[in-house]
Amino acid sequence: MSELLDAAVAERVLGRALANGGRFAEVFAERRRGLTMSIDESRLEAVQSGAEEGAGVRVVDGGTTYFAHVDGLDPADLERAADEAAAALRGERRQPQPLSAVASQPQPVAHRPEEVAAERKGDLLRELDQRARGQSEEIAQFTSSYGEARREVAIANSDGLLIGDDRTRTRIGAQAVARRGSTVETGAETLGAARGFELLEDDPALIAEQAARKALTLLDAGPAPSGSMPVVVGGGFGGVLFHEMTGHGLEADHIHKRASVYVDKLGQQVAQPLLNAFDDGRMPGEWGSDAIDDEGAPTQQTQVIEDGRLTSYLYDRLTAERDGVASTGNGRRESFRHLPIPRMTNTYIAPGEATPEAIIAGVQKGFYAVSFAGGQVDPATGDFVFGVSEGYLIEGGEVTRPCRGATLIGNCLDALMAIDAVGDDFFMKTGICGKGGQKAPVGTGQGHVRVGAMTVGGTER
């Protein structure tokens, strides 16, 4: 940390940032390193290595944030950013508090990815390729990617805080295409964590097999049904449903702009009493975990729904200040080129008591969404849409046939209230969330969940 941002330099930069006034100033310094590669047509390609460093300086005055970012971490670069941020202010010089360094505990990394030979990563992708293609003659194509990234960050602010974090993330993804005559289907799977290469030591090629199996299963799929019906959502990435339909609406910036259906709903019953949900940036090794957020606040576990009641929004520094509460450690930014905004970390529905079998057995005619290709919500209206990547028909309490091309659509207030069963088979999956033009790694999780009624948009006539 001290190597990234020297305390004396940081104090000087903060002083310059407050040269024309402002109640708060901050410098965010970052060094990013990454390596990605992929395999396609059984050929290793797109080997790419990146190295960037830079800093963002912000000054807050009244309700306005002045922000400037520069490439480079030389003292002159930081001072230039501070001068640019301060340029539009017209107040009296203010003096920042002297800095005192605070230690943080970064997520542990057992095996640094950058110390593993690139050839071994290439071999790993070849192994995935063989595993997927070995599943069936009907696997027509397979692509897979490897990515490692390290973000070292340091944050100093005019309250006297100086803190850093060292974040390593490793991820592999697999996508298979199965073909039978003119029928073509795809299947995808990913594995990622806030960990090092140790993530990939226990049968990483399993995801290739899983992706291939999904694609093969869909070859037998019929059209998805249309209309309103009970929907059972699978565990793990099924949690993206909660992430989209509720999580975003709890981010305090949406609340302050009244652009959320959860405005004025704190303390109210928004779900059945069986539902408990959390955002937790401290889950060890999870994809959305960090020691601190991008404003230097420690990450934490925040219960957002307790027995069906809405208990908390998700805050960064400025939105927390406005509500007179403490930050929940959700101030995140994609890089030094972005301002922090309230973002989820790892968001999940806590395990319930039902078994997945019992949840499905309770449905006479419905839809089983095992996994999603992604989803989107307008937090202001609560309208959401999800593309189902793996879905089945449920008839007479049993899963009967796979369906292609289904979309789930609805309004989050109705859908959340309609959750009438939560499974005990909890696990987490990884996702990349986009908000305000910024991407962030997020974890999503849950066991099987049943929504009493939701609109399925399919092509069945």
Partner 1 sequence: MSELSATAAGAVEAALAAGAGAAEAYVSRDSGREVRVHGGEVESLTAATQSGVGVRAWIGHRAGYAYGTELSAAGVEAIAARAAEAAAVADEDEAAGPPRPAPIEALPGLSDPSFEFWSSGQAAELALAVERAALGFDPRVTGVEQVVYADAAQRVAIASSAGVAGEYESSDCFAYVQALAESGETRETGLGFGLARGPAGLDPEAIGSEGAERATAMIGATKPESRACPVVFDETVAASFAGLIGGALGANAVQRGRSPFAGRLGEELASSAFVLHDDGRDPAGSASAPFDAEGVPRRRTALIEGGRLRAYLYDTYTASREGGASTGNASRQGYRSQPSVSASNLIVAPGSLSFAELLATAGDGVFVTDVVGLHSGVNPVTGVFSVGASGRAIRGGELAEPLREFTIAGELTAMLGAVQEAGAEARWVPFGGSVSTPPLLVGEIAVSGS
Binding to partner 1 (CB under 8 A) within 177-196 occurs at 177, 179, 184-186
Assess 439 for contact with partner 1 (CB under 8 A).
no
The residue range among 14-22, 257-265, 279-287, 416-424 that interacts with partner 1, by the rule CB under 8 A, is 257-265
Q: Cβ distance 382 to 249 under 8 Å?
A: yes
Please report how close the Cβ of residue 44 comes to partner 1 at its closest, in angstroms. Answer: 4
Q: Work out whether 438 is an interface residue with partner 1 (CB under 8 A).
A: no
Interface with partner 1, residue 423, by CB under 8 A: no
Of the ranges 102-110, 349-357, 416-424, 451-459, which one interacts with partner 1 (CB under 8 A)? Answer: 451-459
Of 163 and 339, which CB lies nearer to partner 1 in the complex structure?
339
x/- track of binding to partner 1 for residues 295-334 (CB under 8 A)? ----------------------------------------
Q: Which tokens belong to 348?
A: 């999940």
In the list 1, 37, 191, 283, the residue contacting partner 1 (rule: CB under 8 A) is 37
- Residues 106-135 within binding reach of partner 1 (CB under 8 A): 118-119, 122
Pick the closest to residue 203 from 127, 107, 115, 293 (CA basis).
127
> Rounded to an integer, what distance in angstroms lies between the CA atom of residue 445 and that of residue 427?
6
**Gap between the Cα atoms of 215 and 219, Å rounded:** 7
User: Among residue numbers 368 through 387, which ones bind partner 1 (CB under 8 A)?
Assistant: 372-376, 378, 380-381, 383-387
In this structure, the number of other CB atoms found within 10 A of the CB of residue 100 comes to 10
Binding test (CB under 8 A) with partner 1, winner from 3, 50, 130, 284: 50
Q: How far is the CB of 69 from partner 1 (least distance, A)?
A: 5
**Cβ closest to partner 1, residue 397 vs residue 457:** 457
End-to-end CA distance of the chain: 61
**What single string gives the DSSP state of each residue in 256-281?**
HTT-STTTT-TTSB-S-TT--EEEET
Question: Cα-flanking dihedrals φ and ψ of residue 369, to 5°?
Answer: -100, 100
Residue (282 or 317) nearer to partner 1, CB? 317
The Cα 68–Cα 78 span in angstroms is 10
Q: Helices 206-218 and 118-133, interaxial angle, to 10°?
A: 30
Residues 58-117 interacting with partner 1 (rule: CB under 8 A): 62-72, 84-85, 87-88
CA distances 243 to 182, 246, 294, Å, are 36, 6, 20
Which tokens belong to 58? 């912000």
Identity of the residue, 62 or 98, whose beta carbon is nearer to partner 1 in the bound complex: 62
Give me the least distance between CB of 108 and partner 1, in Å please. 27
User: According to CB under 8 A, which one of 43, 93, 112, 401 is a site residue for partner 1?
Assistant: 43
Residues 401-420 that bind partner 1 (CB under 8 A): 404-407, 409-411
Q: How many residues does the chain have?
A: 461
Q: What is the rounded CA–CA span in Å between residue 168 and residue 196?
A: 6
DSSP E strands, 213-269: 222-223, 227-233
Interaction residues for partner 1, span 226-255 (CB under 8 A): 226-228, 254
Sign of CA dihedral 267, 269, 273, 279: negative
Choose the binding region for partner 1 from 51-59, 108-116, 146-154, 358-366 (rule: CB under 8 A).
51-59
Phi, psi dihedrals of residue 225, rounded to the nearest 5°: -70, 165
Question: Residue 416 — left, alpha, or beta (φ > 0 → left; ψ -120 to 50 → alpha)?
Answer: alpha
- Whichever of 111 and 179 has its CB closer to partner 1, that residue is 179
Q: Count the site residues for partner 1 by CB under 8 A.
A: 78
Q: Which of residues 261-300 bind partner 1 (CB under 8 A)?
A: 261
Q: Using the minimum distance from each CB to partner 1, give the nearer residue, 8 or 51.
A: 51
Enter the tokens of residue 97.
């508090």
Applying CB under 8 A, among 49, 95, 105, 364 the residue interacting with partner 1 is 49
> Contact 162/10 with Cβ under 8 angstroms?
yes
339 near partner 1 (CB under 8 A): yes
Does position 138 interact with partner 1 (CB under 8 A)? The reply is no
Taking alpha carbons only, the member of 124, 146, 131, 125 closest to residue 201 is 124
Shortest distance, CB of residue 117 to partner 1, whole angstroms? 9
Smallest distance, partner 1 to C-beta of residue 98, A: 28
Residue 140 exposed, middle or buried by CB count within 10 Å (0-12, 13-18, 19+): middle
47 contacts partner 1 (rule: CB under 8 A) = yes
Choices 18-26, 34-42, 158-166, 201-209 (CB under 8 A): range interacting with partner 1: 34-42
The binder of partner 1 chosen from 116, 206, 219, 259 (CB under 8 A): 259
